[in-house]
Chains A and B, each alone.
Chain A
């Protein structure tokens, strides 16, 4: 696939994250497992800059994209507060008790954040255990970059990329 601009994607996204198909599937499995076994009502996986990766469950009127940006900001602020008050913890966890549900926000490795909302009926100890386990599993999945064959398996057209970009952006505005 010569000339494919996304061919060596994993090499240059040093600051960012590339999620490969096999990783996406493995993550989905781990999250479904958490959703069922915990059980949880809503699960979000996002990266530390607030970009949503996956959303399971949740009501129709909660927008997971907006929620993800707020969760990342919430955790970032909590970490900063912990730092300033010398409570730094390697794996920051934020828990909120609501009237009918509790929510957890926890880091899943260096780059990802897991948000879980569950009924108050779920014992906190059990929830914590399950959530931490899931966070570790996700961190492990992301750490392992799959084989190169999978990395280059993206279809692209031969069209000039710059004009594609132009069209795509113009399209947004003119509608």
Chain B
């Protein structure tokens, strides 16, 4: 988070985290395609030759003023494969809110679990945790025939109690809801802390 009281900007960093192929990049692509071009930056993607995320994707959005400050939302994704562990940690530096993208497919349960644990390890590296950083769990790929029930996924992953959004990111479904929940949680969090 970065606040510039002179330029009246509130800069917020949101990271889309989750196992490889869960739909993180798709979320950013959908947002990119749907918002007014005047309100967004280019979509930066550091990809391998076969189109997989190598380091991160990045997109900045500019909201209209809130309490006299212009929020600028910086969205990042991480590379999901286990061998990109260090890169994932680097991208989490300075994170203000996380979207954890779950692949609902029944054969991805273990991968989702590993990623969820990995997220907690990396947050603790920065002195943060799931209790201090706003998290939204996006249950993606709800359209798959082998998608597990959200309740079952949630209790297996132990994500009960965190904000949840079902999604079919590839069609844009649930993408905005997820974005909205995480951004309002982050901004409301600032307000709460300020009032305390």
Contacts and interface: CB of A to CB of B under 8 A. Distances in A.
Interface of A: 3-9, 12-13, 15-21, 23-25, 47-53, 63, 65-66, 69-70, 72-73, 76-77, 80, 150, 153-157, 161-162, 164-173, 175
B61 A165 contact: no
Interface in B73-92: 74, 76, 86-87, 90-91
A175 B39 contact: yes
Interface string B42-70: 10101000000001101011011111110
Interface of B: 1-8, 11, 13, 34-36, 39, 41-42, 44, 46, 55-56, 58, 60-61, 63-69, 71-72, 74, 76, 86-87, 90-91, 93-96, 126-128, 176, 179-180, 183-184, 187-188, 190-191, 193-196
A63 B6 contact: no
B93 A76 contact: yes
Contact of B55 (A66, A73, A165, A167): A73
A97 B28 CA distance: 33
Q: Is the interface of B mostly helix, strand, loop or mixed?
A: mixed
A14 B93 CA distance: 14
A90 B95 CA distance: 23
A18 B3 contact: yes
Given A47-B94, A162-B184, A69 B74 contact: yes
Given A19-B4, A69-B60, A77-B55, 19 more contacts: A6-B69, A9-B5, A13-B1, A16-B1, A19-B5, A47-B94, A49-B94, A51-B94, A53-B2, A53-B4, A69-B74, A70-B46, A73-B91, A77-B87, A77-B90, A157-B67, A162-B184, A168-B66, A170-B180
Contacts of B58: 50, 66, 69-70
B1 A165 contact: no
Given A6-B194, A69-B58, A165-B66, A51 B2 contact: yes
B66 A164 contact: yes
B67 A164 contact: yes
A15 B133 CA distance: 11
Contacts of A51: 2, 11, 13, 72, 74, 94
